[in-house]
Structure 1
């Protein structure tokens, strides 16, 4: 499932904040029917994702006479609402947390240490992709389980490419080791000339960082943030900036409300967008939409470079009054059977349990779905998870550069570098 970020958070079902506060409570009460324990759990996600999660919840309830789980999605500003709920003792028993939240949740004792529950359970932490676990562990203890992952890939609209006169397949170019920044720019130039968006640049860490690492750039060195001083990193931002100025790329923040990258793509108005597998439930139901995926192009001479993996974690509220029931739900949601249930038939993410890769390729939807696995094998989770607001200084300056246009590219990068490192030192001192 998609991490919403600093990882960007998707707006989900139109539930009011009041109803959420009423539904979610760390002090879940028995339902009153034969002593059945009621627990609540909360997530973010788009409607396609929500449907599958509700199906799992319903199936869980059918299999447990003594537990009733209620899915209570939280629309918009997810992280802030969860923190408010935790402070007010109204948070759900089980909830999703993105990696930027994990240090605060662990250090403040807001979530349960799951290590005792993992003993003799159906989840062996060694069977999970270990590269995903860094934000979830501290001092040898496990505080969260990654239920799935979303390596970032490029989705492309076959009709938009064909209408622009593009005969080459991005997937074929990737297989030939010719999927480069130059090739990508040539394609988006043709799409722009046809009157449509070549590529829409969504504004969150996973997009920016995937382009940076696709150029061999880096983010941290010793005690400093070098994400906008490292020459390779700066070159990646310049590539994005130049193509936005040329209108080959479209900066998502300038799109009309409700007409973001996914809507543009589904309406055959955009050739490319960066995303994980979470868009598949919506894309596959859009009549006439022809799409496929490919790893992001590189500028290093390598076929593929590391890119971002959007990751999330399932955690237990330390104040839950029904911890055994909450653990039962967490275990069954994240074990092999739970991942099979949630991710089969064109699910919304990639399994985190080793040995379930076939789930991604079933039905050839999309045709080159195996590229999710290619990207996952070399990808990385949020590099800023300990100090998530550091990179916000960079993204703020990039937004200023594109929208306000009151600074030069060089000035914006210099100011971003100064502000990011100032913020880093402030956070380290706290």
Structure 2
């Protein structure tokens, strides 16, 4: 009888103990989550950061993080890379679910969506305090793009990439063609010169230029003629702007006449950079990022040139590709995240990241020496001029960047034109229809 009672007591204790263990195991993930969101076991504030990028680029990002942590030993930043093809959707989903990173890279096409759904905090007030490592005036106005709404800043450009034209100087010499720089020095680097050199390259059985259908890329041609798709107030004017219409016809003629090849018609896996290095094309348009690839090819002789002008000006705007660093509106460490964001994008942060790096140039003023000190090309100054004169996606002149999905629709329409399926007039009609539909009451 006593044995039965003892066994019964043991069973009860076992049940209670099992229940306690189950409860403890159930609480463990919650306790871990609380620990990771509030700080590490060392008492540091831990910030979660996400970004896209290649392994090499991630190492560059880490340089900025390490420099910040050295100066702020009470804050730890954990970088989690996310593939670029799934980055936007993953970020938006996590932010909506309340478990997003504290600070993160934002692409120019994503910025408008995050501002609209209030996922990111305005940084203007913090940037005006003594705690900020950088100020609004440290950046050229054209760099803000969609990140600036009125007087509010929602993201800080991490660096920038103004578009220039790369030309294969070795190919030009081999074919006996006067270089774009020679035309530029004579004050004659214009559309006629561009047509002339691409005619000669085509006559040699090659392509003169690779043209993209991206709406921001096409605006480089509009601006080179003094025309606009959207004016400086963000109003759509392509259907009325004769100079922009003339530019669209010019660039389409280049493609249809074989002086340029449309990037959308290239075989899968074959890029403009490969064509350039194999001397199958004389010129390509890109930011500083191609320099990192071209620099490794010791036999490649190349240089930059500014966009050819058709209105007599040498300083027409060019598109600037950039990404921004923003802060989660639901972050539990908002001030620490804002502090990190301003450091990472400051002179100090960008100098740490960009020194010796040929993927981008500083977005912040005052440290151009890291680009000009040991330039990979003879005319690095065209990148810096592009930053000064340029326009980032989402700025008034590229207003489509503020309307989710609009620029993709516009690029799809330009694609049809470059493929020879419709003329510029029909293209403008379709662009106008889409813009009026998507913007609607926004303007």
Is the TM-score greater than 0.5?
yes
Contact 2:88/2:110 (<8 A) preserved: yes
Given the superposition, is the C-alpha separation of residues 138 and 237 from structure 1 closer, same or farther in structure 2, using an over 3 Å criterion?
closer
State how far apart, in whole Å, the 2-side matches of 1:72 and 1:389 are: 25
Report the Cα offset of residue 123 of structure 1: 1.1
* 1:117 equivalent among 120, 126, 133: 126
Report the Cα offset of residue 64 of structure 1: 5.2
Report the Cα offset of residue 138 of structure 1: 3.9
State how far apart, in whole Å, the 1-side matches of 2:251 and 2:182 are: 24
Q: Does 1:386 align with 2:402?
A: yes
State how far apart, in whole Å, the 2-side matches of 1:417 and 1:107 are: 24
TM-score (normalizing by structure 2): 0.81
- The 3-state SS of whatever aligns with 2:374 is helix
* 2:47 equivalent among 39, 42, 49: 39
Q: Tell me which residue corresponds to 2:202.
A: 192
Given the superposition, is the C-alpha separation of residues 39 and 244 from structure 1 closer, same or farther in structure 2, using an over 3 Å criterion?
same
Given the superposition, is the C-alpha separation of residues 156 and 27 from structure 1 closer, same or farther in structure 2, using an over 3 Å criterion?
farther
Of 228-237 and 368-377, the range deviating more from structure 2: 228-237
Q: Tell me which residue corresponds to 1:165.
A: 176
Q: Tell me which residue corresponds to 1:213.
A: 223
- 1:325-404 residue pairs with structure 2 within 5 A? 325-382=336-393, 383-384=398-399, 385-387=401-403, 389-403=405-419
Contact 1:26/1:92 (<8 A) preserved: no
Q: Tell me which residue corresponds to 2:163.
A: 152
Q: Does 1:307 align with 2:318?
A: yes
- 1:271-290 residue pairs with structure 2 within 5 A? 271-290=282-301
Report the Cα offset of residue 346 of structure 1: 4.2
Contact 2:49/2:101 (<8 A) preserved: yes
State how far apart, in whole Å, the 1-side matches of 2:405 and 2:237 are: 15
State how far apart, in whole Å, the 2-side matches of 1:201 and 1:149 are: 21
Contact 1:147/1:352 (<8 A) preserved: yes
Contact 2:305/2:379 (<8 A) preserved: yes
State how far apart, in whole Å, the 2-side matches of 1:185 and 1:375 are: 22
State how far apart, in whole Å, the 2-side matches of 1:101 and 1:230 are: 29
Report the Cα offset of residue 32 of structure 1: 4.8
Cα deviations by residue, 1:41-70 (Å, 9 ceiling, x for unpaired): 233345554442244335545665441422
Given the superposition, is the C-alpha separation of residues 288 and 54 from structure 1 closer, same or farther in structure 2, using an over 3 Å criterion?
farther
Given the superposition, is the C-alpha separation of residues 375 and 138 from structure 1 closer, same or farther in structure 2, using an over 3 Å criterion?
closer
Cα deviations by residue, 1:160-194 (Å, 9 ceiling, x for unpaired): 3233332x221232232110111112212222233
Of 84-93 and 116-125, the range deviating more from structure 2: 84-93
State how far apart, in whole Å, the 1-side matches of 2:280 and 2:176 are: 15
Q: Tell me which residue corresponds to 2:259.
A: 248
Paired residue total: 402
* 1:126 equivalent among 137, 144, 152: 137
* 1:96 equivalent among 91, 105, 108: 105
Which is helix-richer, 1 or 2? 2
Contact 1:225/1:424 (<8 A) preserved: no
Report the Cα offset of residue 148 of structure 1: 1.9
TM-score (normalizing by structure 1): 0.84
Report the Cα offset of residue 396 of structure 1: 2.0
Q: Does 1:142 align with 2:150?
A: no
Q: Does 1:411 align with 2:417?
A: no
State how far apart, in whole Å, the 2-side matches of 1:35 and 1:303 are: 55
Contact 2:225/2:243 (<8 A) preserved: yes
Given the superposition, is the C-alpha separation of residues 105 and 391 from structure 1 closer, same or farther in structure 2, using an over 3 Å criterion?
closer
Contact 2:126/2:338 (<8 A) preserved: yes
Given the superposition, is the C-alpha separation of residues 307 and 134 from structure 1 closer, same or farther in structure 2, using an over 3 Å criterion?
closer
RMSD of equivalent CA atoms: 2.8
- The 3-state SS of whatever aligns with 1:220 is coil
* 1:292 equivalent among 281, 303, 309: 303
